[in-house]
Structure formats: C-alpha cells, structure tokens
Amino acid sequence: MSPAEAQKRIGELRREVARHDELYYRQAKPELADFDYDRLKAELAGLEKLFPEAAHAVGDDTPTARVGDDRTEGFVRVKHRQAMTTLDNTYDETELREFHARLARALGTDALAYTVEPKIDGVAVSLTFEHGRLTRAVTRGDGEEGDDVTANVRTISGLPAALKGKPLPELIEIRGEIFLREEEFRRINQLQDESGEPAYANPRNLAAGTLKQLDSRLVASRRLEIVLYGLGFCTPAVVGSQSAFHDLLVAWGLPVVSPFRLVHGIEEVWAAIQELDRLRRGLPYATDGAVVKLNAFEQQRHPKIGYRGMAADGSVEAARKLSPRWACAYKFAPDRAESRVRDITIQVGRTGALTPVAELEPVLLAGTTVKRATLHNAEEIARKDVRIGDAVLVEKAGEIIPAVVAVLLEKRAATSRPYAFPRECPVCHTAAVRGAGEVVWRCPNPRCPEKVRRRLEHFAAKGSLDIDGLGEEMVALLLERGLIQSIPDIFRLTVEDLLPLKKSGEVWARNLIAGISARRTADLWRVINGLGLPQVGAAAAKDLARTFRSLEALMAAREEDLLRIEGFGEKTAAAVLGWVAEPANRALVDELLAVGLKPTAPQATGGPLAGKTFVLTGTLPSLTREEAAAKIEAAGGKVSGSVSRKTHYVLAGEEAGSKLEKARALGVPVIDEAEFRRLLA
C-alpha cells in the first residue's frame, strides 16, 4: 500500500469507526457485531502506526486515541474524580501471553498474580459512595465526564443505598456494569411482540437505551441489574489488591461478578479463560470475554506499567487517550455459522408491522439448529445488502436471537439482484405506511386477514382469555369458513356452526361452546391483555385491572390516572390513551359488552395477602407457578418477577435459583409451600 492509498484508507476508516461509535455509545443501535468493529478499529490502528505521516495528514483527531462517548442530551454532566479508561482487547492467545511477558519484564519476575472475571456485555457506570451512602451514579461518558443517571440507577433493586460493615472510606468511586438478564430481555421482547412493536436486538442495547430514559418509572419497570468490580478514586485507601477489593465489595453487600478467580502465572490465566468460555452460556447475563487484571495495586502503579498515554508526571488526565497496561480483555470469538438465504419472507404482526425474516438453509449454531434469522427491517436489509441466494454469516445476537451479521460477497452469484422491500402488505396488498421517525413499515388495513388472525389468536391464547380448543388451527379454520371475522364473533358461535367442522361431532362442539361461554366472565386483566393495547403486556394489564376495575372505566382513563400506576411512564400512558381514543377500539369494546362479556374485576381490598408482593422461584411440591400466582392474586396479593427490598415474601421450591440468593442477601423472608398455605388460611 502506498502512502497516498494509506492516507485515503485512514480517512475512510476514521469516519466509519466514528459513525459506529455514535451508533453504539449514544444511540444504543449498533450496526456491527463487536468482533467486526474491533477488526475495523485494529485495521485503523495498524495503518496509523505503519504510516504516521499519512495519519498526520488526515488530522490528529482519531477514534483510536479515545474511548467512545455515551453522553446525551437531557442529563447533567459530571466529571469523574478518577478517569474511567477502556481496556485493550485481544482475540488471540499469543497476544495474551505477550501481555504477561511485558508485565514480567517490567517487574522482573514471572510469578505474577492475576484476577480473571467475566467481561459483562453491558453499560459501564461509576457509583460514588460518601461515608457509605450512594450519592451519585455517572456513565463512562468520554472517560473524563459522564451523564448523571443517579435517579435511574436507584431503581435497580439489587443495589443497596448504603454500604454495610467496615472499613468505610470517606469517599469512593466504584466501577461496574449495568445489564439485563436474558430472561428479562425475553420478557420485554414478548411485551414488544404483544404490543405489535419490533423486538430489541440484544440485552446490551436494551440496557443502554433503558439507562438513558428520562422517565425513571419506565426504567424501574425494565428490571435492570448491576455488578461492581472496579476501584476509582478512594480516600483513604482501604485495600491493596483487586482480589481484596472484590472481597470488600461482597462484605459491603454489593453485587459482584461471578465466577471470579485469583490465579498465578499465565498458564493459570489461560486455564481460567478456557473454563469461563465453557461456562459462559450458563451464566444469567451475556458475557463476550474475560477481563484479566494484575492483582496487586502497587504493581499496577509501577512506573513501567501504569497507563498508555500517561503524562510524564504520572498524572491520569486525558482519559480518552488512556488504557491500563496492567489489564486486558480477552474477547471470545462469536459463535457464527455460514448458511445461505433461501428466501426473504415478510411476517405481518398483530398491529400490522412488516418484519423481514431470512429463510436459511439449516445450520447448527451454538448447539441449536437455525433455519430462520431476523433481518429487523427494510433499512437493515439495505444497509447489509442482503439478497436471496446470498451466502451469509449468522450469529446469535447476544447469544439469544439468530441474526444475519454479514454477507459473503465473494460467494455472491453474478446474476444476484438487490432485494426490494415490499411497499404493500404481502397478505392484503394494502399500501404499507411508515410513521415519521420510524423504521418499521406497517399494513394500515384493520381488516387485513393476517392482522385479524393474529388478533384472534392472541385474544384466545393462554396468556389472555385462555379458551381451550381455540388454538391457531381452529382460528384459521373458523376464518376460512367465514364463521368469525372479529373478536366479538367468538361469543356468537353456536354448536350448529361447529358441527360440520369436525368428525368428532356434537361432544366436541358443545365442549368448545361451553369453554367460550365460561370465558364471558374471565378476569378483567385477561380481557385487557387480549385486546392488545400497545405497550401493555400481562403485568401491565393486571395493573390496569386493579386500577380501573372495569372496561368502561378503562375507556374513560385520564393521563393522571395512568401515571399514578407504578411502572407506567409517559410513553405507556400515551399509548394507552391513544388506543382508548380510537373510534374502532371503542366500538370493539362496546360490541364485546353487547355480546355478553362481563369481565371479573380483581378484589379491591381485603384478603389475607392484601398489599403483599410475592416472587416465585423453583419447583413447588404440589402447585405450578401459575396456580400459586392465581392463589396469591385471589387473596389480594401481587406477583412480581424480580426480588427487591419492596418484596414481602419469596416463595421458593426445589432448585430455586438466583432469586433465592438475592432474597437472602436483601433479608427478604423466604417461605416454602407449607408456610404459603398457612398464610392463605
């Protein structure tokens, strides 16, 4: 490569890396997988080192000399007392061993102690405790100053407001990572699906977007979690090593990373990394690597170690240009597999969202056979230039959702043509629409057969009215025969309508009609959930049912009524108000009431468990979780999905998981089924 070519390529790479930094840190909408981003940045760093004059000709401002900047509008900016630096990454065992060799030469000994811990794929944050009390939480920002997100961080149930035990420094900055568990990520995406909204790409993006919400009530509803692992500014000093600091965090009652290993020498470091690689898919959070740190703080501060870019006087000021020489991140190569796009199909959601899906040649990926992968939306297809017939790399985004991450252009057929995203619904052929500021195309036709089918299926499904016998196949058959066209038609069905549909005759028909009739008095929350209000899933439907106690009252809801509900923010309130104001939805509710739907309101007050919040975990001797939850709610209590200081009881069975540990750490009473039955009595 000539200097002129290098100069041109350096300019291109700087612009591209800067664009991806903006997408990742500020918008929480990355377009590249970490592996591909790291390769892009490594190429830039290599060219800048090989062609310094060409790099200088482009300019001195380069993304290789700074950390990403997550600061956004709407937040107060706060300067860190000690800079928040970033780690150097490696995917290579040889580079890891060179990291150890450099430290051994600087310290004059090969017998070095290290800590090895998971690299959590979350959002970096710094917590300040003064005399043991949490006073501030700040994002990494540009390394020197970040956004004050204290109000949002205080909603994290597993984070105590004060440290327990001693020694307690006058002031300490503790660094950590905010994340979402995979089960919570799936729950929120299920709500997105129930609301007809597109799914979030991965837990890290969702955690980052949630932390930067201006409405703390919405943040609280998302169940963020945190682990702490790093020491920033501290006065007076309290410990002398990373392992001792980890033990002190535990003693203070703070959540920490696990598994955490203290090892000696590079061979034990490599063994610990390999063990973590084997264990990582069983961890409750997404981890994309291992963090290796020199254990002794005195060795970290050695003049020949310290930080890259550190000033001559030893000061650590320009955080955007720093990375510690005493630590590195070994990144696991992502699980990827090559497949071929057989077709691109468009799914029509209950709200009309048109979601493209790549139909793939079956391929084994992370232990499962993948046949389909999300393409997210029209812009994503165009950006990656995914075409039918392409050879592609498929990756499980956040190790959860299969996604197409790259097209293998060298294997593309000469006859290939760009994919044209349909501008009409593939089912009813109505022209698709896209709202201002949205990337999702939708079918606006309320009578679109696919939208109607999906709405009917949702209304009859287990999480809604739970009408036994009215599954996907039966809904499709009833639509095909013209026996139903809308939700109220379900309650107009007769035995005579059903007799021609099955050979099993009158018994089956009478059972289904009896099942439908019994659901005329279904719980109010089930009806609300079945109606599919945007931003409202089962949990929010129960909150609405407890608040309004009838469909008529819900249809007369005011914003102030909705905002008083715990976990309801302005966005959710606006979505509910928009739905109830729609004439078609008001007509639907009126029609349901006219055909005899009389939902059962929850108990207003009273009951042996009134005002009590329960969390369920493990397997109970004689009750399913659904049965236990029903008994709690029938007795006036509430069931939550996560343990917090507001939890009154954790009902635990066999093989109880992390919720049991969290309850014990917070001092929440843990009861078994026998004690639960005594409370009911």
CATH number of the CATH domain containing 624: 3.40.50.10190
Residue 413 lies in a domain: yes
Burial of 458 from C-beta contacts in 10 A (0-12 / 13-18 / 19+): buried
Q: What is the mean pLDDT of each run of 10 residues along the chain (681 residues)?
A: 84 78 61 66 81 80 65 77 88 92 95 94 92 92 87 87 87 93 80 66 81 77 89 93 95 92 96 91 81 96 83 46 86 85 92 90 81 87 92 75 87 93 94 84 90 91 88 90 93 91 77 92 92 83 88 92 80 89 93 93 74 85 81 81 81 79 84 90 77
380 and 309 part of one domain:
no
Structure confidence at residue 180 (pLDDT): 87
Question: CB–CB of 356/365 below 8 Å?
Answer: no
418 and 350 part of one domain:
yes
**Which residue matches tokens 């309508």?**
497
Residue 227 and residue 240: Cα distance in Å, rounded? 21
Residues pairing with 457 in the sheet: none
Domain boundary (443, 469, 502) is at 443
Domain count along the chain: 6
Domain boundary (443, 472, 503) is at 443
Structure confidence at residue 72 (pLDDT): 64
Residue 410 and residue 407: Cα distance in Å, rounded? 9
Residue 383 sits in a domain whose CATH number is: 2.40.50.140
300 and 364 part of one domain:
no
**Nearest 10 degrees: Cα torsion 361, 363, 368, 371:** -10
485 and 585 part of one domain:
no
Residue 70 lies in a domain: no
**Which residue matches tokens 């089918």?**
453
Residue 589 and residue 595: Cα distance in Å, rounded? 10
How many residues belong to the chain? Answer: 681
507 and 650 part of one domain:
no
Residue 33 lies in a domain: yes
* 662 included as an active-site residue: no
48 and 60 part of one domain:
yes
Give the strand pairing for 613-617 and 649-652: parallel
Residue 25 and residue 269: Cα distance in Å, rounded? 30
Residue 234 lies in a domain: yes
Residue 493 lies in a domain: yes
Phi, psi dihedrals of residue 94, rounded to the nearest 5°? -60, -45
pTM: 0.58
Burial of 348 from C-beta contacts in 10 A (0-12 / 13-18 / 19+): buried
Catalytic residue among 119, 396, 451, 659, which?
A: 119
506 and 528 part of one domain:
no
Burial of 235 from C-beta contacts in 10 A (0-12 / 13-18 / 19+): exposed
Residue 504 sits in a domain whose CATH number is: 1.10.150.20
Q: Which domain holds residue 19?
A: 3-65
276 and 343 part of one domain:
no
Q: Could you count the other beta carbons within 10 Å of the beta carbon of residue 675?
A: 13
507 and 530 part of one domain:
no
Integer-rounded Cα Rg, in Å, for the chain is 28
**Which residue matches tokens 């950390």?**
67
Residue 606 lies in a domain: no
Which has the closest alpha carbon to 88: 292, 235, 225?
292
Structure confidence at residue 314 (pLDDT): 47
Phi, psi dihedrals of residue 455, rounded to the nearest 5°? -65, -40
479 and 557 part of one domain:
no
305 and 355 part of one domain:
no
Question: CB–CB of 588/533 below 8 Å?
Answer: no
Domain boundary (500, 521, 542) is at 521
Structure confidence at residue 23 (pLDDT): 65
Structure confidence at residue 312 (pLDDT): 45
Residue 608 lies in a domain: no
Residue 251 lies in a domain: yes
Which has the closest alpha carbon to 82: 291, 310, 254, 327?
310
479 and 542 part of one domain:
no
